[in-house]
Amino acid sequence: MDFSYDKKMGAKIRELRLKSGMTQEMLSAKLQLQGCDISRGGLSKIEIGTRHIYAVEIKAFKNIFDVPYEDLFV
């Protein structure tokens, strides 16, 4: 399975998280408030591109970072 796109999207999420001044713990908590059961470890896997992102999670990232969907897709 080709994870190259997952790695690019994960890097973008990490960039947005750091730009927002959030730790992985903080972002994980915000994701859980949005209805996504993602632990800090799960978020770490997303950021390094070893875990796929589901559509509902993409929507949560969009809402948390207050960016258009296009900004999440590299």
Segment 27-30 long-range contacts (CB within 8 Å, at least 24 positions apart): 27/64, 30/60, 30/64
Mean pLDDT of the chain: 94
Q: Specify the pLDDT at position 49.
A: 93
What CATH number does the domain containing 37 carry?
1.10.260.40
| CA distance linking residue 5 with residue 22, whole number of Å | 23
**Confidence band (pLDDT; 50, 70, 90) for 36?**
very high
The domain of 63 spans 4-72
Give residue 12's Cα distance to chain centre.
8
- Number of separate domains in the chain: 1
